Structure 1
Amino acid sequence: MSPMKLCVPGDKLCSVEDCIPGTGVYVRHGCIYSSLAGYVLRKNEGEELPVISVVRETETQLLPDVGAIVTCKVTSINPRFAKVHILYVGSTPLKDRFRGTISFRPGDIVLAKVISLGDVQSNYLLTTAENELGVVVAHSEAGAQMVPISWCEMQCPRTHAKEFRKVARVQPEYLQA
């Protein structure tokens, strides 16, 4: 394996014609630059151009990427969206904390798909549009773990109150024994 190239913020890495920008980089005037001090990582995904990213550690750090299925916990909400911490990519726990944006309630555990990469100032943008994605664990205002009763509702077993949630149809590969 060839040694990874070290870079600092502002280093010109390549042209946007040669690579797709990933995490830890930014685009300006048709070129991709490093936004972090770290190691340059090029990942080839299919027939497309390679994705170029900058990671902080020598060992390749797992990062949320567009199309990745992530497990996240809702930390706060406002009238337009909810902020989350991304905990897992697939079934692999993350070493670092990543933030995302989605629509649910605080405390919910959600399976979602990354649709837009974040940068230093912003969050990853997530979606639960597919049937397999949505709330996996939710607690009612009474504190009980809610039970899904349809694809769009969960019910408190104590109070029998129903709350609207986009419920995930969890696939076996995301269940942990």
Structure 2
Amino acid sequence: MRPALHVIAWHGPGRLATMAHPRGGDRLAADLAGLATAGVDVLVSALTPGEQRRLGLTEAPAAARAAGIRYVPHPVPDRGVPDDAVALGVRLAAHVRAGRFVVTQCFAGIGRSTLLAGVTLVMLGVEPERALAMVAEARGLPVPDNETQRRWLHDFALQHGGFATATHPH
């Protein structure tokens, strides 16, 4: 079995998706094997170490490696915003440009995973509000979790993507 992937409609060579966390404990290996079967190359986790422990996901890096998936931890507090996301965005955008399938995940696949996917899309040249709309369409519900996260992506885009928007002028 594999977790539900919310694939973002993207015109480039690679693919990008968000998801909720995989099942933990003795089901973790099967979920990551399912992601590998679905073609996932890179799994970016926004879960904090405490969340990983509670969910039985402390072995996620090793299980991903065993499944042939590159595991990238980038912990973000629940309902929070990422620290130092520029290097991550550059790396993830490069993976997508190279034709790889990148998946961002957090607890529910709504807030933090949206921001990490949004950072990737901004680095690929997508305007921030359009990036959020693309993720919302794939997810089937409004994203991200809160207005602070939405503003953060707009600020990130202004500083690192060169976008100034009418909704959030700076």
Task: Indicate whether the TM-score tops 0.5.
Answer: no
**Structure with more relative contact order (C-alpha pairs < 8 Å, separation 6 or more):** 2
TM-score by length of 1: 0.29
TM-score of the two chains, using structure 2 as the length reference: 0.30
Q: Is the strand fraction higher in 1 or 2?
A: 1
Bigger Rg, structure 1 or 2: 1
